[in-house]
Structure 1
Amino acid sequence: MVSHSPENAASEHVNRVADYYDANTRRFLRFGESPSNDAIHRGVWTPGVTNTTEAADAVNRLVVERLIGHVPAGEGRVLDLGCGVGATVVRLAREVDAQVTGVTISRVQAEIAERRLAAEGLAERCHVACGDFAQLPAEPRYHAMVAIESVVHAPSLAELISSLAARLCPGGRLVVCDDWMTDNDLGLPARERCLDQFRAGWRIGSLHTVAEFAAMGEAAGLRLREDLDLTAYLRLGRPRDRAINVILGAAGVVPRMLDRMVEKPFWANMIGGSALQTGLSRRWLEYRLLVLERV
């Protein structure tokens, strides 16, 4: 008999996330918004940003600004949750005088990131581990944690936040930049279909509102200090995105075709990305940077 316990379901979800990134990461690097920057998170065109390289680095810059002065110089420890191929680890190491550790569920990403750290001459001060950031060892504790487009993959955000809070030093900061659900058009069938496709395609385990997340943080001893809406600075509806929507729209005419396609990591990314674009454009989803502090 097959067990369908919550523990098995969570483990299966984590494995699906790992497979998704193992299969897609090299394509993300080749065809992402800024291939020259080796970043696989999205570009953010904040005021003053003039090109794709700057847009890809915008979130890193915002994160660094919120850590400087909050991490003890020389002896601080920073953890990048869902570090991808190490772009943010490198950026943090250059700007913050601290030991920087990254963790990614993807073996492919961890290998690329370790090579990158060695090439940058940062291997002594930085490290990337392949593992589940919901299963961190009890020690060491960190002065800051960063999570860019990663916590939504957690099977349970409430359990994750509790675990992370226990591993933060008093006064430590958790900086999260991710997609958050809104209350707009609750119950509208088109909204629910969109969010379901986003969850299935991008292997989303925890999709919550900012208010829900703040309450989870408060229960874990983390107080929300800042909530910055970056949605307006995303570039939605690029030609590539419109082409993908046409393809997926044609596939959706055939019953259950999208359900079969979403099992393949390549098409899962296309389906989830298309749903994300729709969700953001209609404000069913918002891309926000949040800063929480351990009290």
Structure 2
Amino acid sequence: MSSTSTNAAAGHVDRVADYYDDNTRRFLLVAESPGSDAIHRGVWMPGVAGAAEAADTVNRLMTERLRGYVPAEGARLLDLGCGVGATMVRLARELDGSVSGVTISRVQAEIAEKRFARAGLTERCQVICADFAELPAEPHYDAMVAVEAVVHSPSLENLIPSLVDRLRPGGRLILCDDWMTDKDRGLAARDRCLDQFRAGWRIGSLHTVAELAAMSESAGLRMVEDLDLTSYLRLGRPRDRLINVVVGAASVVPRVRNRLVERPFWANMIGGSALQHGLSRRWLEYHLIVLEKA
């Protein structure tokens, strides 16, 4: 990688860290399930009874896909972009293993550590404040998960092989994230929407599932499941409609929008509005993907 590319990647990582340092506490206050400590999206699959269950759906789906594929005792798991540790606690309790988490945000790491102490899991849950693209060579993990995280990587194509190197044979990598589709490719409105999503939410790697599959295969992973969860998201809630109106009014003048997107609060509003638009038109989809090392 050239020095220019390295500097650009480092600058992007710093922007992601600032974004989460500034926004995380607000995310917890306005989460779909306040008090759950989950800052990822709720997924309202059939049988989900309320917001707390919706917030836990992704954790449940990942746990189900790891049970039987990691050691019954002493499993070593890694949560990439672990946020405030809610998924780590779920995995530690359900799979009886030790869970390490990596977050680029100092604020998230501090909140996660307090959560582990309250849950009595400080011996089994460890959070590292670092870039998940710069993991040490050891230890190796039985499984890795990432929820709404790998899109922040400056280069998913470089990240995947580095993760494979740290995954034990037969280990699973589970990614739940937003993926670009080929629908309306070349349409100006689609391009504007995706550009605003990238800028607002500090997206570094936005790929199709097919592109991910090709990268993964080259790195020694096979895709064993691709589960489209888009239809189970609740789009267009009153809060979302209000944000769309406010963002639309503030973004009429491009130079105003460009200034606002540099501020983490407004960046989240602009990126979130674009995400809603993209998901509703299926320019973006929300998939849980299971990959397995040979």
Shorter-normalised TM range: over 0.9
Which of 191-200 and 248-257 deviates more?
A: 248-257
**Amino acid in structure 1 at the alignment position of 2:122:** A
CA distance in 2, matches of 1:264, 1:168: 37
Q: For residues 111-167 of structure 1, what are the alpha-carbon distances to aligned partners after superposition, in whole Å with 9 as ceiling and x for unaligned?
A: 000110011000011111100000000000000000000000000001000100000
Alignment: residue pair count: 293
Contact 1:197/1:271 (8 A) holds in 2 = yes
Is structure 2 residue 53 aligned with structure 1 residue 54? yes
Q: For residues 36-90 of structure 1, what are the alpha-carbon distances to aligned partners after superposition, in whole Å with 9 as ceiling and x for unaligned?
A: 2111001000110011000000000000000001111222100000000000000
- Equivalent residue of 1:50, what SS? coil
Give the corresponding residue for 2:96.
97
Give the corresponding residue for 2:80.
81
Give the corresponding residue for 2:256.
257
Structure 1, unmatched stretches of 5+, are none
- Return the offset for 1:4: 6.7
**Amino acid in structure 2 at the alignment position of 1:226:** E
Give the corresponding residue for 1:113.
112
- Return the offset for 1:252: 2.1
Give the corresponding residue for 1:240.
239
Which of 193-202 and 97-106 deviates more?
A: 97-106
Give the corresponding residue for 1:218.
217
Give the corresponding residue for 2:150.
151
Contact 1:71/1:98 (8 A) holds in 2 = no
Is structure 2 residue 23 aligned with structure 1 residue 21? no
**Amino acid in structure 1 at the alignment position of 2:94:** E
CA distance in 2, matches of 1:151, 1:134: 10
- Equivalent residue of 1:36, what SS? coil
CA distance in 2, matches of 1:126, 1:164: 20
Contact 1:176/1:291 (8 A) holds in 2 = yes
**Amino acid in structure 2 at the alignment position of 1:124:** E
- Equivalent residue of 1:290, what SS? strand
- Equivalent residue of 1:289, what SS? strand
- Return the offset for 1:256: 1.6
CA distance in 2, matches of 1:222, 1:4: 30
Give the corresponding residue for 1:267.
266
**How large is the Cα RMSD of the aligned pairs?**
0.9
- Return the offset for 1:275: 0.2
- Equivalent residue of 2:175, what SS? strand
Give the corresponding residue for 1:291.
290
CA distance in 2, matches of 1:12, 1:250: 29
- Equivalent residue of 2:21, what SS? helix
- Return the offset for 1:254: 2.0
The percent of aligned pairs where both chains have the same amino acid is: 73
TM normalised by structure 2 equals 0.98
Q: Which runs of 4+ in 1 moved over 6 A?
A: none
**Amino acid in structure 2 at the alignment position of 1:49:** V
CA distance in 2, matches of 1:95, 1:255: 48
